Amino acid sequence: MDKEQIQQERRGFLKQFGATVGAAGFGAAGLASVAGSRPAHAAAAPKGNIPSRPIKVGHITFLTGAAELLGGPGQHGHILAQEEINAQGGLLGKRKIETIFADEAAGTDSNVKELRRMKLSEKIDLFTGVISSGNTPALGPVAEELKVLTLFNDGCTDFLFDKAVPNPKYTFRVTNIQSADGVTAAIGAATHWPKARRIASIQPDYSYGRNVFEHFVLALGKLLPGIQVVSESWPKLGTTDFTSHITKILSAKPDLLVVGVWGGDYVAFYKQALRYGLFDKMKVATTLAFGGYPHAIGKDHPEGVLAGVHANYHFLYPSAERWPINKSFVERYHKRWNEYPSFESDGAYTALYLYKQAVEKANQLVGGWPEDEAIIAMLEGAGFNSPAGYLYVRADNHQGYKDAVTGLSRNLPGYDFPVWDPASIVTIPIRSITAPPSWPKPGQGHNESTAAADWIKKTWPQAKA
């Protein structure tokens, strides 16, 4: 295939999805007209009597273990939002935010107990945080049972709102849905490497890795003709010795490797893969390489790797000229923590501000401190200008949606770690890669693992050789 053909094919993908490549892509989303996108009434004075009692927030995230790489930035994002809101006098100018943190690494059962304890003995008003997809499906039903307003910032499995909490009332989630992650990596890979046919995969052996593998292969199979999965590796979460997996992948001679390994595991993986020459022998598409602290990845990380961020956010994008909100957020975050934010920082920060916006809107309507029902009504269908771009919370499934992004790694001057090559960033309108509101959930006329998988299978055109 010559260069012109590749160009043509690339244009084909982009047209199909309304996706764009390069830093100019931002703003392509057709969502800005959706209800709820009116600007926040930040300036309006609170109505009625507001108690001065603090608002108690529970936040469970990874504070220890390899996943601290994601949890740490999330905690930092939450604290930044909390401090900013408290500096303005608190919510509605009266109620300061107090947060109780707990370590998600304690395990699912302990997290469930901790949520109960937070609600029953600490009397929290709001629950936030949670990184692992293994935990949100356990915590979601408990949050509904306890009637505690919950804004998960991650734990993005489709299963949460497809199956575990199919009709959420109190539970919301801010970051993009998980199936979007594998699909975004597939569109990124197909855009940059349309010749790839032999696919190898290495995924952590739990729900996240399974979801990434399934949706990546499904989407890539629709985008590129005749792909073939030649090798699958399923290391356990927390693996640090990847040499046997790497040798196995090399032995299958793939053109493209899809990597869902994340956190500290990914750092150990890329260090070993580098010395085994893996990056010289194949293209590599990851879903979470740039998902932790940005500075966790060294300058020795190869350039030209599709460096995923859970399809959410990396701090140089949206660019300062097009989205000053991000520039200002990154500056404040860097001033507070002396590091750059990750997508979890944005998620946790946005979750708290989303709550603030809903409280303010509800107060304008009903006066006084609004009941949870009123806050929920304002969260459903809410739009929010987050650092990562325009976020829309769907009313039917309480899931936040924003344009999905990914890009190729590159060492740019000014940073001690690799960032995205601005020319390589792929932006995809989220509606192009997620099932629409009316689409049947698993068990309602189909038995795919997610609504998204069924929707992709039935509606995406198949690329021809």
Q: H helices of 193-323, where? A: 207-223, 243-251, 263-275, 278-281
Our CB check for other proteins shows the closer of 153 and 386 to be: 153
Q: For residue 177, give the nearest of 461, 456, 460 by alpha carbon.
A: 456
Our CB check for other proteins shows the closer of 235 and 254 to be: 235
The string of DSSP codes covering 163-199 is IISSS-SSEEE-SPPTHHHHHHHHHHHHHH-TT--EE
Q: Peptide bond preceding 318: is omega within 30 degrees of 0, i.e. cis?
A: yes
Smallest separation (angstroms) from other proteins to the CB of 18: 37
Strands 419-420 and 256-259: unpaired
Q: How far apart are CA 318 and CA 93, in angstroms?
A: 30
Q: For residue 293, give the nearest of 77, 130, 78 by alpha carbon.
A: 77
User: Which residues of this chain interact with other proteins, rule CB under 8 A?
Assistant: 63-69, 71-72, 105, 205, 232-236, 238-241, 243-245, 247-248, 250-251, 264-265, 267-268, 271-272, 274-277, 293, 295-296, 298, 300
The answer to whether 173 and 401 have CB atoms below 8 angstroms apart is no
Neighbours of 381 (CB within 10 A): 15
Q: In the chain, what are the helix, strand and coil shares in percent, each to the nearest 5?
A: 40, 15, 45
Smallest separation (angstroms) from other proteins to the CB of 61: 11
Smallest separation (angstroms) from other proteins to the CB of 243: 4
Our CB check for other proteins shows the closer of 293 and 420 to be: 293
Our CB check for other proteins shows the closer of 275 and 457 to be: 275
Q: Peptide bond preceding 440: is omega within 30 degrees of 0, i.e. cis?
A: no
Our CB check for other proteins shows the closer of 308 and 318 to be: 308
Our CB check for other proteins shows the closer of 241 and 331 to be: 241
Our CB check for other proteins shows the closer of 105 and 316 to be: 105
Half-sphere exposure of 344 (CA within 13 A, CB side): 30
Smallest separation (angstroms) from other proteins to the CB of 296: 5
Residue 98 dihedral angles phi and psi, to the nearest 5°: -115, 130
Smallest separation (angstroms) from other proteins to the CB of 62: 9
